[in-house]
Amino acid sequence: MNRVAANYLDPYRSQEGSYGIGLDNKINPYLLKKDFPIFQEKVQGRDLIYLDNAATTQKPYPVIAAVEKYNQAFHGNPHRGAHYLSVKATELYDQARQKVQEFIKARSRKEIIFTRNTTESINLVAYSYGMNFIEENDEILLSIAEHHSNILPWQQVARSRRARLKYMYLDKDGRLSMDEVKRKISNKTKLVCLTQMSNVLGTIFPIKEIIDYAHERGALVLIDGAQGLPHLGVDVGELDADFYVFSAHKMLGPTGIGVLYARESLLEMMPPFQSGGDMIEYVTEDTASFAPLPEKFEAGTPNVEGAVGLAAAIDYLNNIGLDKIYQHEIDLTAYALEKMKGIPYLTLYGPLDLEDRGGIISFNVDKVHPHDLASIVDLDGIALRAGHHCAQPLLNFLQVGASCRISFYLYNTKDDVDKLLESLERARSWFVNGS
């Protein structure tokens, strides 16, 4: 038996509940950590405290084992051959698409397009829909809290199509009010692009209300679910979004695979984003006809092992329950905010209460640059984020050059918070007092 399988089949699960759920029906993160081999490693000679989940999450044994098993026993090029391995790879790839469809409650597998990541999903919409259907003087509306991946493609579209880019701004608490939304959506608004949850402030935006209002005004809506889906989940049918995008690596899955959900009617009218193998039906010297959905938007050999890993990650999250994961994160956020609000040298950004927010906290330490702070706490085995978080327009709006950010997930603990605050105190003392 290989090492991954041996570890995965360790009998620790029977000690208390299953899949890290304690006898109180809540997540037991200490038990869950045993599912993640990264936490058996040492960082700078210390136990790892991983607080950078908004950037990427760690992988549990079931995900690692699923990818390893695919590569060991089933690897082939899907849709291309009649032999066993090609058929098996096709089967696993199609099963993964079905798993994603069920996870986000899409109506059809045709509406699930595999991409490399959230960024490519947004670019697909920008170049296939935006460059073909947005016209001169149309408006593309964004929030100031968007990740660069949900800004830069629309800058390109607006420039090429002579459309206008507009922004919705946040209030003093880091929230987006419906008054601001209604002020900015006009009869010229063709597309609204909005994150489900801010990767800097942790703010959860009222996307359902915004979608309903945008549709009333004749606009389509793209939701960036990279931060929201792993914690909040989504029902794309109930949400009524036109486009919804996310990445596997922010929900315990592999890097290199993401998803675009789009209404079938929109995908049918959009031209292919890339051309090549697997997305064609018939090719002559001068013309070609394209494959039906979803293959129409998936040129070339796909990332089958990524899809297999994503499917395994979905199973893992479903077995725990996104509701339990979110409650665990909010409990940690409440604990951290209560302690951090009492530290005079800390400046916190975003909502300071728990209403409409997730497990992301951005802050700065007085007289210590965020990059220096991140380097010092790393010596204690603590991973946090420092910089502009790929959201420079938001930080400029907040009049902040850079900040530190912590972000929680299912395997984080209150001990992680306590050790972080102890490390912050030592770091500040070293910079301010030299000791």
Give the confidence band of 19 by pLDDT, cuts at 50, 70, 90.
Answer: low
Give the confidence band of 80 by pLDDT, cuts at 50, 70, 90.
Answer: confident
Q: Which of 154, 355, 333 is nearest to 243 (CA)?
A: 154
Boundaries of every domain in the chain: 3-58+321-428, 65-318
Q: Which of 239, 200, 203, 233 is nearest to 221 (CA)?
A: 239
Q: Output the pLDDT for position 3.
A: 44
CATH number for the region 65-318 comes to 3.40.640.10
Structure tokens at 190: 């063709």
Tokens 């959230």 found at: 118
Alpha-carbon distances, residue 15 vs 21, 131, 157, 232, 317 (angstroms): 11, 56, 55, 28, 20
- What pLDDT, in 10s, does the model give residues 334-386? 999 999 999 999 999 999 999 999 999 999 999 999 999 999 999 999 999 99
Secondary structure (DSSP) of 281-322: EEE-SS-EEEPPTTGGG--SS--HHHHHHHHHHHHHHHHH-H
Taking the model in full, what pTM does it have? 0.95
Q: What's the CATH superfamily of 3-58+321-428? A: Aspartate Aminotransferase, domain 1 (3.90.1150.10)
Catalytic residue among 55, 266, 383, 390: 390
The residue-averaged pLDDT of 132-155 equals: 98
Q: What 3-state class would DSSP assign to 16?
A: coil
Percent of the chain with pLDDT over 90: 90
Q: How far apart are the first and last CA of the chain?
A: 51
Query: Which uninterrupted H or E stretch holds 119?
Result: helix 118-124
- What pLDDT, in 10s, does the model give residues 38-58? 999 999 999 999 999 999 999
Mean pLDDT for the chain? 94
Give the confidence band of 435 by pLDDT, cuts at 50, 70, 90.
Answer: low
Give the confidence band of 81 by pLDDT, cuts at 50, 70, 90.
Answer: confident
Give the confidence band of 20 by pLDDT, cuts at 50, 70, 90.
Answer: confident
Q: Output the pLDDT for position 431.
A: 87
Q: Is 390 a catalytic residue?
A: yes
Query: Across-strand partners of 22?
Result: none
Residues with Cβ < 8 Å from 3, sequence gap 6 or more?
A: none
Give the confidence band of 7 by pLDDT, cuts at 50, 70, 90.
Answer: very low
State yes or no: pLDDT of 5 exceeds 90. no
Give the confidence band of 433 by pLDDT, cuts at 50, 70, 90.
Answer: confident
Structure tokens at 269: 């009218």
* 345 alpha carbon, distance to own chain's centre: 31
CA distance 311 to 305: 10
Give the confidence band of 11 by pLDDT, cuts at 50, 70, 90.
Answer: very low
Residues with Cβ < 8 Å from 140, sequence gap 6 or more?
A: 130, 134, 154, 157, 158, 163, 164, 165, 166, 189, 190, 191, 193
